[in-house]
Structure 1
Amino acid sequence: MIRWRWGTVVAPRTSWHGSVEVEVALEARRPDDPERVRALAYPALVGTPQVGDRVLLNVNALALSLGTGGYALVVAIPDRLPDDVDAPGHVVKARYTPLQAVVLAADEEASPLRDALANNSDISGMPVVIADLHSALPAILAGVHADRPSAKVAYVMTDGGALPAWFSRTVDALRPLLAGTVTTGQAFGGDLESTNVHSGLLAARHGLGADLAIVTQGPGNLGTGTSWGFSGVAAGEAVNAVAALSGRPVAAPRISGADPRPRHRGVSHHSLTAFGRVALAPADLVVPSDLEADLALVVHEQLRPLCPPHRIVTPVAEDLEPALLALPVRLSTMGRRYEEDRAYFLAAAAAGRAAAAQSLPSGLGEGGVGD
């Protein structure tokens, strides 16, 4: 199940919030192994690797040539273990794996947000944009801030993709534009930690003081090419969570005219399953009013059977291009950049615009990290 390798750090590469990338020379190489690999370490888990350190690696993702996760991962720096950290918190994430980590949940007794979260059981009508791919996050945020530049937006990261929020360079680059990140379920490394999407939404609203939230998985969507075998099915569950907490679900269907796979053209079958079969509560399904005509016809035909319970809303999107191009991240989805799949990013930005139109007045959120 795990491809183990020993190696020695030979050069630093780059780093971003919570992550350090290094170059490692492999020892006792197998026939298909390269001489050197790029390896990723999370200092909060294993310490910070330095040139000369011997490291234990997991090379599964590298061997599988995964697009978002094609790194060797540093499991341990055995000759220079980090010091123990005595910190409050007793919530365990990545539970019962060799790297299970103890974190402080936003609503547990030792948290300074305990009272605020324990005394609130809904999110007070907060709009929440829900998408099934991490690549939608920056585009949604651009759509929100294009119309509501002062809106406090929280990112609620589910655990369908990468578990450490530190893996995402997108989240790192967007930090100045976000009220904060809440990692839910088995995901960890956000500004706040929560046990599930419901408590994560409460933490976003009453802990970060968010006017609006975006829910999507971290990088690395898992899919088997079948109707139900994909991690983005959790987007439908998020719609239900938002409704259960008296929020306003805004669904961002995955729309593309450029995906080479027929099951993902128009509206992806992932979105049709998540929002059409899993989501039991009504949501706004956002479709730009200015999609190219042939694509628009296909998209509306695909979404019409989902209404009711949902309703289709059609904001203008084309004028959001400057906001998308001004983002501090390179837009990319499934290897396609903005100019190769404009419909995908404009549709996500339109969802942000639709949520901004109904977002709460800035500053009404209760206290917290984002204030």
Structure 2
Amino acid sequence: MIFINKGIVKNIISRRDDISFVEIDVDGVTTKAINYNEITGEINVDDVVYINQTARNLNLGTGGYDFVILNTKYDNINSQKIGHIMKLRYTPMQINVLSVEEQDSPYHDMFNNFKDLDGMPVIVGELHSMLAPTAIVLKKLKPSAKIAYIMSDSACLPISFSNTVSYLKEKNIIDSTITMGHAFGGDFESVNIYSSLICAKEIVKSDVAIVAMGPGIVGTGTKYGFSGIDQASIIDAINKLKGNPILIPRISFNDKRKRHIGISHHTVTVIELLNSSCNMIIPTLKNEKQLILEKQLKENHAFDKVNKYFIDPKIASDILLGVKDLKFTTMGRTINEEKEFFDACGAAAIYCSKLLGID
């Protein structure tokens, strides 16, 4: 199923290098849309375009945007990118990139000579909303730490869509981005999680990597039907390459869905599927909320597979509350509404900072 409509560009809301946010008139109705400049060309007022409105018609959460798929003013588009690895393969929008592993890459031989991650900490989170609080706290505690963000292809594919990544790069909080699988647009492109981790260690020379999907997790209300399930294979990959996996548990006490209260069933399922182990960092909470977490950890023997560390998140909480130019939200809820969610991110950052022998 796909919904495509024709419209006229009425306003340019904002632009970045790879992306434009615009307003389009479709049969007298104004709609917001996104134009990926390197795919459909630069866009301007009065351009006649075709837009994909499928998610809007289904009332899905793509940030309230439609997507430009064709600008009629162009007879052809040639972005002249080098590289022979295709992303979005076998779709009308497939693009070529220079992946770090391919033979034309200056880093090609590095992958054949790679040994291991030598214990490099790798923080693994389910949601894109975990990236900013984790990275900000870690950078505040360890200003000289070199942080790489690895974006998986389990949600949004173009990294340019993320305002969070744009902010973190602009503020020099994350030092480099790696887009793996069909995700694209990072500072470095890779084919899979193994190559991404090697890139973070050997090419970027990172002290720590954070792995999480882009915006827009898929969920179905079933045990295995969510795209964040890839955390299990990511953690196993980190262990196979002799890294140090640090898992951020998804914690909520304000979600209307009971399966996400306390430690989310998503985190439980990921741990059940692990073929290895990891360090799961849990924020120390107050009163009944702490008792709920402890009860979950005691009664569900899946948690026996992982190393559990309780960390007081107060320092992290203070850091995040001091950030005034970025609004922290998860699932549409603010840091005040989901304090424990962000405490979990901060606790993981605190734990990781203690592992880094810098500053």
> Do both share a fold (TM > 0.5)?
yes
Which string of whole-angstrom CA distances, capped at 9 and with x for unpartnered residues, describes residues 167-195 of structure 1?
11101101121111111111111110111
> What amino acid is the match of 1:87?
K
> Aligned residue for 1:333?
330
> Aligned residue for 1:110?
104
Q: d(CA) in 2 for partners of 1:211 and 1:126?
A: 7
SS of corresponding position for 1:357: helix
Q: d(CA) in 2 for partners of 1:271 and 1:256?
A: 12
Whether the aligned pair in 1 keeps the contact of 2:124 and 2:212 (CA below 8 Å) is yes
1:284 to 279, 286, 292: 279
> Aligned residue for 2:25?
25
> Aligned residue for 1:201?
197
- Closer, same or farther in 2 for the Cα pair 1:52/1:132, shift >3 Å? same
How far apart are 1:97 and its partner, in Å? 0.9
Q: d(CA) in 2 for partners of 1:107 and 1:325?
A: 40
How far apart are 1:121 and its partner, in Å? 3.8
Whether the aligned pair in 1 keeps the contact of 2:283 and 2:313 (CA below 8 Å) is yes
Equivalence map 1:93-132=2 (5 Å): 93-132=87-126
SS of corresponding position for 1:308: helix
Whether the aligned pair in 2 keeps the contact of 1:287 and 1:313 (CA below 8 Å) is yes
> Aligned residue for 2:348?
351
> What amino acid is the match of 2:219?
G
> What amino acid is the match of 2:245?
P
How far apart are 1:108 and its partner, in Å? 1.3
TM-score (norm 2): 0.94
Q: d(CA) in 1 for partners of 2:280 and 2:55?
A: 35
> Aligned residue for 2:16?
16
> What amino acid is the match of 1:297?
L
> Aligned residue for 2:310?
314
**Structure with larger RCO (C-alpha < 8 A, sep 6+):** 1
SS of corresponding position for 1:107: coil
Whether the aligned pair in 1 keeps the contact of 2:55 and 2:62 (CA below 8 Å) is no
- Asked if 1:342 is matched to 2:336, the reply is no
> Aligned residue for 1:293?
287
Equivalence map 1:144-159=2 (5 Å): 144-159=138-153
Which string of whole-angstrom CA distances, capped at 9 and with x for unpartnered residues, describes residues 239-296 of structure 1?
101101100010000011111211101001011101x22222111111112x122112
How far apart are 1:142 and its partner, in Å? 2.3
> What amino acid is the match of 2:315?
D
Q: Which range moved further: 203-212 or 294-303?
A: 294-303
SS of corresponding position for 1:210: coil
Q: d(CA) in 2 for partners of 1:303 and 1:232?
A: 21
Which string of whole-angstrom CA distances, capped at 9 and with x for unpartnered residues, describes residues 101-155 of structure 1?
1101012122222233332142221101111111000111123123212111111
How far apart are 1:205 and its partner, in Å? 1.3
Q: d(CA) in 2 for partners of 1:124 and 1:236?
A: 20
- Closer, same or farther in 2 for the Cα pair 1:173/1:17, shift >3 Å? farther
> What amino acid is the match of 2:99?
A
Whether the aligned pair in 1 keeps the contact of 2:246 and 2:348 (CA below 8 Å) is yes
Residue identity over aligned pairs, in percent, reads 35
> What amino acid is the match of 1:5?
N
TM-score (norm 1): 0.91
1:191 to 187, 202, 220: 187
- Closer, same or farther in 2 for the Cα pair 1:190/1:249, shift >3 Å? same
How far apart are 1:57 and its partner, in Å? 0.5
> Aligned residue for 1:162?
156
> Aligned residue for 1:31?
none
How many equivalent pairs are there? 354
Q: d(CA) in 2 for partners of 1:147 and 1:82?
A: 49
SS of corresponding position for 1:132: coil
Aligned residues: CA RMSD: 1.6
Q: d(CA) in 2 for partners of 1:97 and 1:87?
A: 18
Q: d(CA) in 2 for partners of 1:201 and 1:4?
A: 38
How far apart are 1:70 and its partner, in Å? 2.3
SS of corresponding position for 2:304: coil
SS of corresponding position for 1:287: strand
Whether the aligned pair in 1 keeps the contact of 2:268 and 2:303 (CA below 8 Å) is no
Q: d(CA) in 1 for partners of 2:115 and 2:65?
A: 40
Q: d(CA) in 2 for partners of 1:80 and 1:325?
A: 47
Note the residue ranges of structure 2 that are not aligned, 5 or more in a row: none
How far apart are 1:361 and its partner, in Å? 4.5
Q: d(CA) in 1 for partners of 2:59 and 2:161?
A: 17
Whether the aligned pair in 1 keeps the contact of 2:142 and 2:358 (CA below 8 Å) is no
SS of corresponding position for 2:24: strand
